[in-house]
Amino acid sequence: MVRLVAATLILAFYSQVTFSQISPDCGGAIPICNNTPINGGSNGYGVDDFNGAASSGCLEQTTTGSIESNSVWYRFRTMAAGELGFNIGHSSNEDWDFALYRASDCNNLGDPIRCNFFDNSENKSFIGVGEDPTGDATSVHYEDWLQVNAGEDYYLFINNFSNVNSGFSIEFTGDIFTTNPTDALDCSIINNLLGAPIAACEGDTVNLDATTTGATSYEWYSDIGSGFQVITGETNPTLSVTSSAQYRVVVVTPTGNIISEVQAVFNIVPVTNMVSDEMFCHTSSAVFDLATKDNEALGAQDPNDYMVSYHYTQADAIAGSNPIPKQFPKNPGQEDIYVRTYSLTNPDCYDASQNFSINAVSSPALTFEDEVTICENSSGIIIGETAPNPAYSYLWSTGELTPSINVTQAGDYTLTVTNVVGGLNCESSRTVQVNLSQLPVITDVEVEDFQANSRVTVLTDLQGDFEYSLNNGAFQSSNVFEDVAGGMHTITMRDLFGCGEVVENIVVVGFSPIFSPNGDVLNESWQIDGLSALNSPIVTIYDRYGKLITQLTEFSPGWDGSFKGKPLPSTDYWFKLSYLDNDGNRVYAKYIQNHFSLRR
């Protein structure tokens, strides 16, 4: 939120009239106080107040070879403590700089306490201290707010870098003008019978008071650019004025005449045109650009002369307080916005007669998952909104018009949800990716090297997401089990999405892949280790043609490589393992049908 900005000092904007108050030298700095209108034109500089220095704070030498090129000096004194800033308004195609000195002597300025020397390649219309009135919080042409105390003296140096300029305006800002709206700046530094120059609005009446004790007569004059002219018939000590001019009074006293002059500026009061209501679709980070309504409010009025601000209440619009950021973070729903159109040269000249509504219509918020899995041969799965809004309409890419649908096939399904308010369609869409998960199948179980404690690997031909368990233990994502002891074991394979599981009983035993019955007492017989863990195991050995060679039990000493007492040739032989299960049925070990080699 942009803080409260109280306009106090108004400088005539982009105008150079004959009664302008400017001083190119610090020694002749123009004293200013609350509500003082001053012409901001500049043309050249007088004495080099920086004595040929290369810099002063951020200021550097300009095209003239001096820090000054088109300079204006002002001075002011604070009468309150708090936050102070100012906006220097100018043509966006001109390059202005400034420096503010806390000092009471031009010969001892010291370093500036606020300073800006950035070029205006961004074509900005304001430089200053505090906050850019356009709402640009990142402007490099603005310095931090100044904390002031009562009774402090300041010199303000304003300079145009080039030799062509159309003048500027100044608006003082800060909370000291909230706490002290009429005396934040000390007007006693202006020694003038008629007081400080006056900023007013068109239609106002300003009373000039030259009352002097002992005066014998009064004469009033005005100058609108062609010299002072007497105001016929005005001989009273007071004069009511309604138009811009430089006013002079001649007070005749027995001891001599007193002559005093004062500048009065009457600024045009802008008119706020009718602003149309707005309706837009609201998302989670909806921001409405209020600047798009400026042209409606201004109409044919020049945006270089007037600004538009927006407020939550009529009272704030009238006071010019608590403006809404132009990048307005709008919440869902409708609310009224109040418009203030005001003069750049005098923000007290304003019109706050118009308001409009902004209705941020909620775009549907979709909460359902965008990826689901269905099981093979299942009856399907429900996708979409399970708690629908009855005010919304629903349309699936399948053509169905319900908030949720049942799907049995893998694929992408898109739901578009629409909220219709006042002819405005606010839509939200989401695509659900439906994946198919197959029932788990164990294709094979590999027992590495068939040792007594072996590595067991569960194999499957399916593509899917599965996990595995050995002997009803914890499930794991890996299909490999290490150091599995000999004997009977249970392997469980299940689908991560709950699409079923398969359980297999396996037997782990150890045997030698080669034996050599050649009489050297090494590897003279072939046998299987771990049979004692099985119930009534029988090992059946065959040759390559399926001929039964022999059978072994857990008590057999092993096979010596002979058949009916005769040695068999060196070659590969196959074997099967059977045992009695828990029901007393003889079964073959499913994944043990392997071979070994006889070598002589």
The DSSP 8-state label assigned to residue 361 in this structure reads E
Average pLDDT value for residue range 323-340: 93
Q: What percent of the chain has pLDDT over 90?
A: 63
Residue 3 has pLDDT above 70, yes or no: no
Average pLDDT value for residue range 299-323: 92
Q: Are residues 106 and 32 in the same domain?
A: yes
Q: Is residue 1 part of a domain?
A: no
Instruction: Dump pLDDT digits (tens) for 204-215.
Output: 999 999 999 999
Residue 438 has pLDDT above 60, yes or no: yes
Q: Are residues 325 and 216 in the same domain?
A: no
DSSP states of 556-589:
---B-SEETTEEPPSEEEEEEEEEE-TTS-EEEE
Residue 2 has pLDDT above 50, yes or no: no
Minimum mean pLDDT range among 254-268, 312-326, 403-417, 583-597: 583-597
Looking at 379, 403, 437, the residue that finishes a domain is: 437
Q: Is residue 2 part of a domain?
A: no
Q: Domain holding 58: CATH number?
A: 2.60.120.380
Q: Are residues 30 and 124 in the same domain?
A: yes
Q: Are residues 376 and 413 in the same domain?
A: yes
What is the C-alpha separation between 33 and 183, in angstroms, rounded? 8
Q: Is residue 515 part of a domain?
A: yes
Q: Is residue 454 part of a domain?
A: yes
Mean pLDDT of the chain: 89
What is the C-alpha separation between 341 and 267, in angstroms, rounded? 13
DSSP states of 95-126:
-EEEEEEE-S-GGG--S-SEEE----TT--SE
Residue 162 pLDDT level (bands cut at 50, 70, 90): confident
Residue 418 pLDDT level (bands cut at 50, 70, 90): very high
Instruction: Dump pLDDT digits (tens) for 483-498.
Output: 888 888 999 999 988 8
Q: Are residues 66 and 140 in the same domain?
A: yes
Instruction: Dump pLDDT digits (tens) for 492-515.
Output: 999 988 888 999 988 888 888 899
Q: What stretch of H or E contains 306?
A: strand 306-311
- The answer to whether residues 382 and 405 touch, using CB atoms and an 8 Å cutoff, is yes
Q: Which amino acid, residue 515?
A: F
Q: Is residue 213 part of a domain?
A: yes
Residue 272 has pLDDT above 80, yes or no: yes
Q: Are residues 20 and 151 in the same domain?
A: yes
Q: Can you give the pLDDT at residue 520? A: 85
| Domain membership of residue 528 as a residue range | 510-598
Q: Are residues 133 and 43 in the same domain?
A: yes
- Name the token pair of 457: 């690997």
Q: Can you give the pLDDT at residue 410? A: 92
Looking at 239, 267, 295, the residue that finishes a domain is: 267
Residue 10 pLDDT level (bands cut at 50, 70, 90): very low
Q: What pTM value is reported for the model?
A: 0.64
Q: Can you give the pLDDT at residue 379? A: 86
Residue 167 half-sphere exposure toward CB, CA atoms < 13 A = 19
Residue 169 pLDDT level (bands cut at 50, 70, 90): confident
What is the C-alpha separation between 116 and 112, in angstroms, rounded? 10
Instruction: Dump pLDDT digits (tens) for 13-41.
Output: 333 333 446 789 999 998 888 766 565 66
Burial class (CB in 10 A: 0-12, 13-18, 19+), 41: buried
Looking at 437, 468, 495, the residue that finishes a domain is: 437
Q: Are residues 383 and 307 in the same domain?
A: no
Q: Can you give the pLDDT at residue 450? A: 58
Q: Is residue 289 part of a domain?
A: yes
Q: Can you give the pLDDT at residue 21? A: 60
Q: Is residue 432 part of a domain?
A: yes
Average pLDDT value for residue range 361-379: 90
Minimum mean pLDDT range among 2-16, 261-275, 554-568: 2-16
Q: Are residues 27 and 98 in the same domain?
A: yes
Q: Are residues 396 and 347 in the same domain?
A: no
Q: Can you give the pLDDT at residue 11? A: 40
What is the C-alpha separation between 102 and 148, in angstroms, rounded? 10
Instruction: Dump pLDDT digits (tens) for 551-580.
Output: 999 999 999 999 999 999 999 999 999 999
Instruction: Dump pLDDT digits (tens) for 526-550.
Output: 988 888 888 999 999 999 999 999 9
Q: Are residues 260 and 165 in the same domain?
A: no
Domain count for the chain, please give it.
6
Residue 451 has pLDDT above 80, yes or no: no
Instruction: Dump pLDDT digits (tens) for 68-127.
Output: 999 999 999 999 999 999 999 888 889 999 999 999 999 999 999 999 999 999 989 899
Q: Are residues 461 and 333 in the same domain?
A: no
Q: Is residue 4 part of a domain?
A: no
Q: Domain holding 405: CATH number?
A: 2.60.40
